[in-house]
Structure 1
């Protein structure tokens, strides 16, 4: 008997269950589900909204459910209630009766009559009585935590580091879908030319105010465009683009990119070199190398070489003082990309931040002898945690007297205005890019 095609809501339920049970990455599962089920752009958009939205607001949804679902529920039933409540509270275009009907049908399909009755009763009670008010939560950190679905430990930590207002703004921004941005391949075209081509292809796009070669895509799947396929542009977040600026590469230089996959920064550096010099791109995982190769090939960049290698062993294959520039875009907690990977905030623990710092310092220590005297080493992360970022910087300088903190010359003017004490900490609310940290060390000549 042929299996009936799953509805978008059933696929969303499957994804929510997989993320919760296996601590899988929602973005990878989502892309796989869209491809496997050959969803139309409309259905893919709805699946993305339902999956990300429910994960993003999980703690708020549980707060709303608490008075109505007092018994212990099976995991999939709780996910179904969260998914349904998300639509009822946050999506205007879907009638509540349709949401409840589909939830009951899914409950019948997956469980027994008692469960479908329970789901129906809970959702109809919420429809009748409304959800409880968040105003009942008086303690500021707890209120931000529940209102924006961020763990209380994280909210308290950020309040200590950034203050209550900036923390609240950051948490609220993390609930919003990020704007897709592309980077124009300046070895092939100007931003103006690419904007015109996108317009001709029917895309809605506008130039970025932050990065000279960045464009915001307001409507349309850019990966399907001729602009993307012919290598005139690549998909990259604006904050991430600032890293190549910080490196301030000059024609003909040799650059080491230590944690390179999937190659967004690698290819940007190669473009900044205008296809001269050489970028040596390392990554720990062999299977990720294909992404760098594919990107370099599509963009027409011939000055990139790759090697699958733990960058902590870079000294085994490269000679000392053989690079003019080194980039360490280090493994980190990822707390700056919660809009793209909302599941991160529920699985990270405070102690994870300190264990990652050891890896970051090991990489910096291992590659520092490979930099020429007078050369620049840029350290960047996609996190906003001050202890994780500044703590690593301080410890590196404590143990490497041959390095000093350098000013971030070469940044676009708008980004330069955000620097503090010679370092750049971008928060998601600053200009809509990912949360990102960038600093630069210079190797002393004497």
Structure 2
């Protein structure tokens, strides 16, 4: 494809994202390219880089376009990106829109006017309000500011960086050293992660799913922070464990490994397709002590199994603010109304799942959010209403889980962030039910 054709394809992809504002951009992108198999690998990467680069900078681009008074369109977002991020002159950008059969079409007078007004402007200007300047949506800014204080700017910058590829070695099938050797045999170098004893880290664009190590279940894709949360559950051989919001079962897999396939772990979710995908992953990983359960309206499963589990993990649905470096579209896709709904849902899930925990057992609450209202404040509210539970200090939970060294932070609960720890943003609290 020509550069003009790549730009046109990127604008088409942006139109698809605009037309489906509630759907994750990665799913839209996968469908977009699946329907355009004529786009080769290198062109696909170039189109993706351009489109997702625009999505990543959308809040800033929208603000600058708003200053011109123009109506926001995917074409204008692309044009603003060329001028502000790539520092192209208006005439140069105009040629990319109108230089060949497969181009996006010529800029009209209004679009050229926008281009002229953006010349010389910085992508991130001091005159910007905090929200676009820091690339953080207004609804999340108060919570993130309360969380990080004078570290907010550094954390915001880290949320814009590309994330590495973290792998979890499946200890049911081999050691971390064996996994590294297997990857090296296929020309792929990796380094060990500092906090997870099973983690390996590679550059974010490394193709991994075609390797023998992946196909045979020796490795799984999982951020180090997520691995640490699975470890803090403390699932041991012979226990009964529930992964109450299992999703694709990444943490179920990790816990089954720490249990050495002994005992029973139940992966629960409200989505049948997600559980079907989880079943396939469990099979490939050689997990034999896991089962799945679909949570449906009117389901009496929790009532029938009250007090039967040694460990219950609640990886609660959340805004995903901690994963914005991987999912930049969520900055624009999530709203203040979504946050309010999620807070209510998290509270309800935490209470419901707590009934599963036996006396002396532990309830582990986790999110991939950095907002206090989804994290510490949810836990404080729960403990205030349920005195039969107490918080286990992070140091004690860390030591009991056999994690290396001391916790990477101080405080009663775990909080990992991209700037401070090089992981996605994660929160985790370990709560114990009194006997």
Q: Is the TM value for this pair above 0.5?
A: yes
Give the one of 96, 101, 106 matched to 1:102.
96
Can you list the C-alpha shifts for 1:269-321, whole angstroms capped at 9, x where unaligned? 11111111111111101111121011111111111101211499464564222
Partner of 1:78: 76
Paired residues of 1:206 and 1:217 also in contact (CA < 8 A): yes
* Post-superposition offset of 1:214: 0.7
**Secondary structure, in 3 states, of the residue corresponding to 1:223?**
coil
* Post-superposition offset of 1:135: 5.0
Verify: 1:216 aligned to 2:210, yes or no. no
Verify: 1:420 aligned to 2:411, yes or no. yes
- TM-score w.r.t. the length of structure 1 is 0.86
Partner of 1:238: 224
Greater fraction of residues in helix:
1
Relative to structure 1, the CA distance from residue 394 to residue 154 in structure 2 (aligned partners, 3 Å threshold; closer, same or farther) is: same
Partner of 1:203: 188
Partner of 1:249: 235
Paired residues of 2:245 and 2:268 also in contact (CA < 8 A): yes
Alpha-carbon distance in 2 for matches of 1:304, 1:106: 56
**Secondary structure, in 3 states, of the residue corresponding to 1:222?**
coil
Residue correspondences, number? 425
**Secondary structure, in 3 states, of the residue corresponding to 1:375?**
strand
**Secondary structure, in 3 states, of the residue corresponding to 2:155?**
helix
Relative to structure 1, the CA distance from residue 304 to residue 20 in structure 2 (aligned partners, 3 Å threshold; closer, same or farther) is: same
Paired residues of 1:251 and 1:276 also in contact (CA < 8 A): yes
Paired residues of 1:256 and 1:323 also in contact (CA < 8 A): yes
Alpha-carbon distance in 2 for matches of 1:184, 1:360: 30
Alpha-carbon distance in 2 for matches of 1:196, 1:97: 52
Partner of 2:349: 363
**Secondary structure, in 3 states, of the residue corresponding to 2:375?**
helix
Q: How does 1:82-161 map to 2 (within 5 A)?
A: 82-85=80-83, 88-89=86-87, 100-105=94-99, 115-116=107-108, 118-119=110-111, 122-123=114-115, 129-132=119-122, 134-137=124-127, 142=129, 144-161=130-147
Partner of 1:47: 47
Can you list the C-alpha shifts for 1:157-216, whole angstroms capped at 9, x where unaligned? 3223321x3111111111111101110011111111111111111223222122111111
Q: How does 1:265-280 map to 2 (within 5 A)?
A: 265-280=251-266
Give the one of 181, 191, 211 matched to 1:225.
211
Can you list the C-alpha shifts for 1:207-253, whole angstroms capped at 9, x where unaligned? 21221111112252111211111111010111111111111111111
Relative to structure 1, the CA distance from residue 372 to residue 351 in structure 2 (aligned partners, 3 Å threshold; closer, same or farther) is: same
Gaps of at least 5 residues in structure 2 are: none
Q: How does 1:10-25 map to 2 (within 5 A)?
A: 10-23=8-21, 24-25=23-24
Alpha-carbon distance in 2 for matches of 1:180, 1:107: 38
**Secondary structure, in 3 states, of the residue corresponding to 2:236?**
coil
Relative to structure 1, the CA distance from residue 336 to residue 107 in structure 2 (aligned partners, 3 Å threshold; closer, same or farther) is: farther
Alpha-carbon distance in 1 for matches of 2:407, 2:433: 22
Paired residues of 1:405 and 1:440 also in contact (CA < 8 A): yes
Alpha-carbon distance in 2 for matches of 1:264, 1:190: 18
Partner of 1:258: 244
Partner of 1:332: 318
- TM-score w.r.t. the length of structure 2 is 0.88
Paired residues of 1:206 and 1:216 also in contact (CA < 8 A): yes
Alpha-carbon distance in 1 for matches of 2:72, 2:341: 34
Verify: 1:321 aligned to 2:307, yes or no. yes
Verify: 1:441 aligned to 2:428, yes or no. no
* Post-superposition offset of 1:443: 0.7
| RMSD (Å), alpha carbons | 2.9
